[in-house]
């Protein structure tokens, strides 16, 4: 919760929302980039924030975009359960099926490091790394503009 509070206080980052009365045990902790405030994608952002000593991965691939679903082969070479006679319908997992999920690959970064033995000091250093990167992300348009003149 301490990390979520720290991330929520930073303009441009959107931490996960936990419903009142609920808790969460994260396998992967996601942070969404507010693309109207951060002009770089998740891959670029992750590269920069990781240079500050934190460990994040960019984006994710929706489950239906994984090779198992795209090639539709699970049991043998007959295409079951995707195209075998038991179901009787054609199943499509083509791009565009879930456009919001697909868009998230450019907007979400995740980490596995939000767990013990992480200390409060570790969390504060991570939040500070994000603060620093966000500061420079906001300066980026001016920096680029200055180099073009």
Number of Cβ within a 10 Å radius of residue 77: 6
Between 148 and 68, where is the model more confident? 68
Q: What is the pLDDT of residue 118?
A: 85
What pTM does this model have? 0.79
Phi, psi of 39 (to 5 degrees): -90, 10
Give the pLDDT band (50/70/90) at residue 142: low
Q: Taking all residues of the chain, what is their mean pLDDT, rounded to a whole number?
A: 85
For residue 147, name the pLDDT band (cuts at 50, 70, 90): low
- Please state whether 143 falls in left (phi above 0), alpha (psi between -120 and 50) or beta: alpha
Does 145 or 29 have the greater pLDDT score? 29
In tens, the pLDDT along 104-131 reads 888 999 998 888 888 999 999 999 999 9
Considering only residues 72 and 15, tell me which one the structure prediction assigns the higher pLDDT: 15
Q: How far is CA 4 from CA 118, 122, 148, in A?
A: 14, 13, 38
Where residue 143 falls among pLDDT bands split at 50, 70, 90? low
Strand positions, DSSP E, 60-140 = 108-111
């Amino acid at each position: 919760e301490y990390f979520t509070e720290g991330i929520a206080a930073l303009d441009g980052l959107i931490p996960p929302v936990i419903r009142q009365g609920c808790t969460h045990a994260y396998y992967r902790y996601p942070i969404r980039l507010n693309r109207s405030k951060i002009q770089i994608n998740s891959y670029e952002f992750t590269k920069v924030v990781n240079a500050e000593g934190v460990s994040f991965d960019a984006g994710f691939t929706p489950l239906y975009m994984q090779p198992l679903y795209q090639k539709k082969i699970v049991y043998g070479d007959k295409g079951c359960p995707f195209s075998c006679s038991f179901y009787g319908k054609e199943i499509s997992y083509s791009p565009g099926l879930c456009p919001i999920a697909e868009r998230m690959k450019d907007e979400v970064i995740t980490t596995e490091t939000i767990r013990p033995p992480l200390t409060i000091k570790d969390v504060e250093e991570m939040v500070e790394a994000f603060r620093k990167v966000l500061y420079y992300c906001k300066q980026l348009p001016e920096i680029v503009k200055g180099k073009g003149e």
